[in-house]
Chain A
Amino acid sequence: MQKASLTKASKRFYTYKFLLPAGIIYFVLFLLPTIMSFFFSMTRWDLVDWDFIGLDNYKTFFSESSLNIGFRNTLIYAVVTCGLKVVFGLLLGVALTSGLRIKGYLRSVVFFPTLLSTIAVGIAFSSMMHPTQGLINKSLALAGIVGPDWLGDTSIALLSVAFVDVWKGVGMATVIFIAGIMSIPEEYYEALQIDGGNAWDRFKHITNPLVAPAMNSVIILAFIGGLRSFDLVWAMTKGGPGFSTDLIASIIYKQYQGGFYGLSTAGNVILFIGVSLLAFPLLKLLSKREVDL
């Protein structure tokens, strides 16, 4: 019989052969560049030749103020965008699963910004945020309010960009929350109704705890997205004025533009390690909360 003709050894490797094509692609396109980047981050590199210079690139990154300003900004940006997306996403999610008659229409309205190109959104908002000719300040002027220079004032420029990020990203968070809320069995709500609970009780005792898995997804996605954010900042301020809205990713890009390939690779390794160090414990913490329910 055919089956019996397979030796033990060939049986063992038989399955691995099927993994090989995908394995090779994964190795060449993902693992190899990752490993190489750890190496090149310790070199002075012009894409052709390289000199090994040890940890000098990392020292430069941590010691130079135009580089390490990114750590603080990135953390602020990630926390602010992530927090607001969770709050607004949850509120919208609850509202759009309620008995509203036009909720189908509203759902598409809320989701629409997610479909737009980030660069287009950035350019549109930066013209709306123009201090004298922008739509926002002109509207405020009608109400007699003198609006600030949203992107020029260094104390609020980063928050202005974060606000646009929330505007654009909240649709995705809302959709995840809607899915989470819809999967809560109707019986719980009926039981609450029999016990005489009001709308706030519905939210506090059923929706909020049972939507935790969805909330965890939103937190993790939004937080990692915030840490790695680049395109919106680049389209709106290019890290300016000065360095006030520079995020780690935009700083890395600028080092790459300067032709400092080794230094920018070191920045990427730092970003990779930073994201891992923050994201994994966060994931653990959040999933613990889920289990405890």
Chain B
Amino acid sequence: MAQSKKKTILALTGAVLLTSALTACGSNNNNGNAANANANKSPDAATESPAATSDASSERYEKPVTLKLMIDNQTSTEGIKAVADEIEKRYNIKTEFDLRPGGDEGDNLVKTRLATGEMDDLSFYNSGSLFKALQPEKYFLDLTSEPFMQNVVDSFLPTVSVDGKTYAAPSGASQAGAWLYNKKVYAELGLSVPKTWDELKANNEKIKAAGKTAVIGSYKDSWTSQLIVLADYANVTADAPTFADDFTNNKAKFADTPAALRSFQKLAEMKDYMNKDYLATTYDQALKMLVDGTGVQYPMLTFALSNIFATYPDKIDDIGVFAQPADSADKTALTVWMPAGIAIYKDGKNVEAAKKWINFFASPEGMALLATKAKPEGPYVIKGATLPNDAYAGVKEMMPYFDNGNNAPALEFLSPLKGPSLPQLTVEVGAGMKSPEDNAKAYDKDVEKQAKQLGIAGW
């Protein structure tokens, strides 16, 4: 019954497109089997490139195969292009970039393309809650037993897995949600990196007294207002280690878990230290303030380092990174954002070529090529891939948190739930329109709405 309902709807929305995609499936099977045998080779073989070229003739496709990669237009594709060029040289697999909008509009496009059966062979998409909301088990190839997944660092796997099966490989380096700060101004004012929340506030007072903006707010781009809440998660887990699971299973709420509520309170405490026009300031303007030193600290994701590098390359080494401090120094930890995943569309025409593509991409060699064009914003999640020597100073400053294990993934990588109204709610708290307690409650309601709409068990 449900099946026939589903069919009727599909027929109405995109029957013609769907059938054309399905019939196209059969065409490349012979090629595919040959590629499969090669894909089973040990991933290490790919790293010794001179030796590998001897048997490259068997790995190479006779006729060029073209894969389409759907990627959002906000991500820099330079690095991926460098890897794709090498893949073309080596395997005769061309990569066609299919650009889509980023953010929520991109989500809609991807969901619609999946529902109508028009997805590209490879798709680049956020890992974590957003990826799980796509229902990857329905649309993407199960990569759990692929040899190249052995290369992937364990902490990445849960963010792209559903029911123990993995559906995507990492697309690059991880990043952190942390505080970017202007090291020059810090040195001028004789400040040191704060280890506790009180030390941060003491620094803020000194910066404010020096006539500069202590905390840059850029609420015109409302997503940036979430950072203090989101980047606090590594500190939350220190106090409430089971929060992510309990939150997903409707057993813990932000409003009645003191450690989690604290994230909202921390946001509210920063209001007095922000620039006066924080409601009209955009992300780009905030970066400019940080670089020229009129603003000194900016809670942000470390991908901002790449934006700074692109616009102000000579100032990049002035920018440092520290983890959002917890109330006590021993609990301060860095909150990590996992890289986006690259998944293979199950019903694509060139599944085997796509596996080959990822096999090369998600290797230390692939990552090294990526680093030639796109500097990492955090450590790689491929085993054996190291930071290049010319990595950003801010990223190098993050490494102790990784070497000491002082980090945890952000909540959105541990739970499929992330309420869509969080940016508006954090604007209200950050601007003092609502109390942190009220909006923690409002956020719990927003999450409840999402869980019900997505039909998650236990809600």
Seen from chain A, the residues whose Cβ lies within 8 Å of a Cβ on chain B are: 44, 46-51, 56, 60, 64-66, 129-134, 149, 151-152, 154, 238-243, 254-260, 262-263
Can you list 9 A-B contacts with CB-CB less than 8 angstroms, sorted by A residue number?
Answer: A46-B135, A130-B277, A132-B276, A149-B277, A152-B279, A154-B433, A242-B433, A254-B420, A258-B420
Also in contact, A241 and B433, with CB within 8 A (given A64-B445, A66-B442, A132-B276): yes
Taking residues whose C-beta sits less than 8 angstroms from the other chain, chain B's interface range is 35 or more
The answer to whether A48 touches B453, judged by C-beta atoms less than 8 angstroms apart, is no
Shortest Cβ distance from B222 into A: residue: A240
Interchain residue pairs A-B with the least CB separation, the first 4: A152-B279, A258-B420, A257-B104, A242-B428
Identify A66's interface contact among B108, B133, B276, B446, CB under 8 A. B446
A134 to chain B, nearest CB (A): 8
Which residues of chain B are near A256, meaning CB under 8 Å?
A: 108
Identify A260's interface contact among B6, B425, B434, B450, CB under 8 A. B450
The answer to whether A131 touches B280, judged by C-beta atoms less than 8 angstroms apart, is yes
B289 within 8 A of A: no
Which residues of chain B are near A51, meaning CB under 8 Å?
A: 455
B63 within 8 A of A: no
B145 to chain A, nearest CB (A): 27
Also in contact, A241 and B112, with CB within 8 A (given A48-B6, A66-B442, A259-B133): no
Which residues between 425 and 459 of chain B lie within 8 Å of chain A, taking CB atoms?
Answer: 425, 427-428, 431, 433-434, 442, 445-446, 449-450, 452-455
Shortest Cβ distance from A152 into B: residue: B279
Shortest Cβ distance from B5 into A: residue: A50
Identify A241's interface contact among B108, B135, B219, B454, CB under 8 A. B219
B311 within 8 A of A: no
B37 to chain A, nearest CB (A): 35
The answer to whether A44 touches B453, judged by C-beta atoms less than 8 angstroms apart, is yes
The answer to whether B421 touches A66, judged by C-beta atoms less than 8 angstroms apart, is yes
Which residues of chain A are near B434, meaning CB under 8 Å?
A: 242
Which residues of chain A are near B135, meaning CB under 8 Å?
A: 46
B390 within 8 A of A: no
Q: Mark B264-281, 1 if CB is under 8 A from A, else 0.
A: 000000000000110110
B71 to chain A, nearest CB (A): 19
Complex: A175 Cα to B102 Cα, angstroms: 40
Complex: A151 Cα to B281 Cα, angstroms: 11
Which residues of chain A are near B108, meaning CB under 8 Å?
A: 256-257
B2 within 8 A of A: yes
The answer to whether A152 touches B450, judged by C-beta atoms less than 8 angstroms apart, is no
The answer to whether B424 touches A242, judged by C-beta atoms less than 8 angstroms apart, is yes
Shortest Cβ distance from B285 into A: residue: A133
B13 within 8 A of A: yes
Also in contact, A48 and B10, with CB within 8 A (given A149-B280, A239-B424, A259-B133): yes
B259 within 8 A of A: no
Identify B420's interface contact among A131, A132, A257, A262, CB under 8 A. A257
The answer to whether B454 touches A259, judged by C-beta atoms less than 8 angstroms apart, is yes
B312 to chain A, nearest CB (A): 20
The answer to whether A47 touches B115, judged by C-beta atoms less than 8 angstroms apart, is yes
B107 within 8 A of A: yes
B111 within 8 A of A: yes
Which residues of chain B are near A56, meaning CB under 8 Å?
A: 452
